[in-house]
Structure 1
Amino acid sequence: MKIVVIGDALVSSATLVDAAKQIQFPGSDEQIEFKIFEWFSDLKKEQFQEKILEIEKNGPECVPIPDGVNEAMVDADYLLVHIAPVSKSMIESANKLKLIGTCRGGLEHIALDSVRAKKITLIHVIRNAEPVADFTIGLMYAETRNIARAHYEIKHGQWRKSFSNDPYKTILTNHTVGLVGLGYIGKLVAKRLNALGVKVIAFDPFVDKSKIAKEGINVEFLEFDQVIKQADILSLHMRLSPETENMINKDVINKMKPNSYIINTARAGVLNKADLIEALQNKTIAGAALDVSWVEPIEHGDPLLDLDNITLTTHIAGDTIDAIPKAPYLLKNVLNDYFQVGFSDMLIK
Structure 2
Amino acid sequence: MVKVVVVGDRLVSSETLKEAALQLTIGAEIEVMEFNWHADLTKDQFQEKILQIEKGGPEAVQVPEGIVEAMADADYLLVHIAPVSKEMLANASQLKMIGTCRGGLEHVAVDSIKEKNIPLIHVIRNAEPVADFTVGLIYAETRNIARGHRDAMTGKWTKAFPNDPYKTTIDQLKVGLIGLGYIGKLVVKRLNALGVEVMAYDPFVDPERIKKEGLSVEFKELEEVFSEADVLSLHMRVTPETTNMVSDHLISLMKPSAYLINTARAAVLDKNALITALKEKRIAGAALDVIWKEPIEMDDPLLQLNNVTLTPHIAGDTIDAIPKSPYLLRDVINAYLKNGISDMLIKL
Measured against the shorter chain, the TM-score band is 0.7 to 0.9
DSSP-derived class of the 1:190 partner? helix
Q: Which residue of 2 aligns with 1:180?
A: 178
Picking from 325, 328, 348, the partner of 2:326 is: 328
Q: Which residue of 2 aligns with 1:37?
A: 37
Picking from 237, 240, 252, the partner of 1:239 is: 237
TM-score by length of 2: 0.83
Q: CA deviation at 1:293?
A: 2.5
Distance (whole Å) between structure 1 residues aligned to residue 161 and residue 48 of structure 2 = 36
Q: CA deviation at 1:163?
A: 1.7
Number of matched residues?
Answer: 342
Could you report, residue by residue, the CA deviation over 1:121-170 in whole angstroms, capped at 9, with x for unpaired residues?
A: 11012333222222111100100111101100111121112222223222
Q: Which residue of 1 aligns with 2:248?
A: 250
After alignment, is 302-311 or 6-15 more displaced? 6-15
Q: Which residue of 1 aligns with 2:21?
A: 20
Structure 1 runs (4+) greater than 6 angstroms displaced: 47-52
Could you report, residue by residue, the CA deviation over 1:198-241 in whole angstroms, capped at 9, with x for unpaired residues?
A: 22111111212112222332211101111111111001112222
Residue 143 of structure 1 aligns with an amino acid whose one-letter code is E
Picking from 39, 63, 70, the partner of 1:68 is: 63
Q: Which residue of 2 aligns with 1:168?
A: 166
Equivalent pair of 2:69/2:91 in contact (CA under 8 Å): yes
After alignment, is 92-101 or 171-180 more displaced? 92-101
Change (3 A) 1:59 1:253: farther
Residue 43 of structure 1 aligns with an amino acid whose one-letter code is K
Change (3 A) 1:336 1:172: closer
Change (3 A) 1:217 1:335: closer
Could you report, residue by residue, the CA deviation over 1:268-315 in whole angstroms, capped at 9, with x for unpaired residues?
A: 222223332232223232211112233333233333222221111122
Could you report, residue by residue, the CA deviation over 1:3-36 in whole angstroms, capped at 9, with x for unpaired residues?
A: 554434432233223323433558755x654343
Change (3 A) 1:20 1:197: closer
Q: CA deviation at 1:334?
A: 2.3
Q: Which residue of 2 aligns with 1:199?
A: 197
DSSP-derived class of the 2:312 partner? coil
Distance (whole Å) between structure 2 residues aligned to residue 49 and residue 208 of structure 1 = 39
Q: CA deviation at 1:98?
A: 4.0
The 5 Å alignment of 1:197-276 reads: 197-276=195-274
After alignment, is 251-260 or 69-78 more displaced? 69-78
Distance (whole Å) between structure 2 residues aligned to residue 274 and residue 7 of structure 1 = 43
Distance (whole Å) between structure 2 residues aligned to residue 41 and residue 247 of structure 1 = 41
DSSP-derived class of the 1:191 partner? helix
TM-score by length of 1: 0.83
Q: Percent identity?
A: 58
Equivalent pair of 2:63/2:83 in contact (CA under 8 Å): no
Q: CA deviation at 1:245?
A: 2.1
DSSP-derived class of the 2:287 partner? strand
Distance (whole Å) between structure 2 residues aligned to residue 170 and residue 85 of structure 1 = 50
Equivalent pair of 1:5/1:37 in contact (CA under 8 Å): no
After alignment, is 172-181 or 105-114 more displaced? 105-114
DSSP-derived class of the 1:348 partner? coil
Equivalent pair of 2:140/2:146 in contact (CA under 8 Å): yes
Equivalent pair of 2:58/2:109 in contact (CA under 8 Å): no
Equivalent pair of 1:2/1:35 in contact (CA under 8 Å): no
Change (3 A) 1:329 1:288: same
Could you report, residue by residue, the CA deviation over 1:48-74 in whole angstroms, capped at 9, with x for unpaired residues?
A: 78987x69xx95537985423598457
Q: Which runs of 5+ in 1 are unaligned?
A: none
After alignment, is 63-72 or 245-254 more displaced? 63-72
After alignment, is 201-210 or 142-151 more displaced? 201-210
Change (3 A) 1:284 1:339: same
Distance (whole Å) between structure 2 residues aligned to residue 279 and residue 64 of structure 1 = 47
Equivalent pair of 2:57/2:108 in contact (CA under 8 Å): no
Q: Which runs of 5+ in 2 are unaligned?
A: none
After alignment, is 102-111 or 144-153 more displaced? 102-111
Equivalent pair of 2:21/2:32 in contact (CA under 8 Å): no
Change (3 A) 1:330 1:305: same
Distance (whole Å) between structure 2 residues aligned to residue 49 and residue 302 of structure 1 = 29
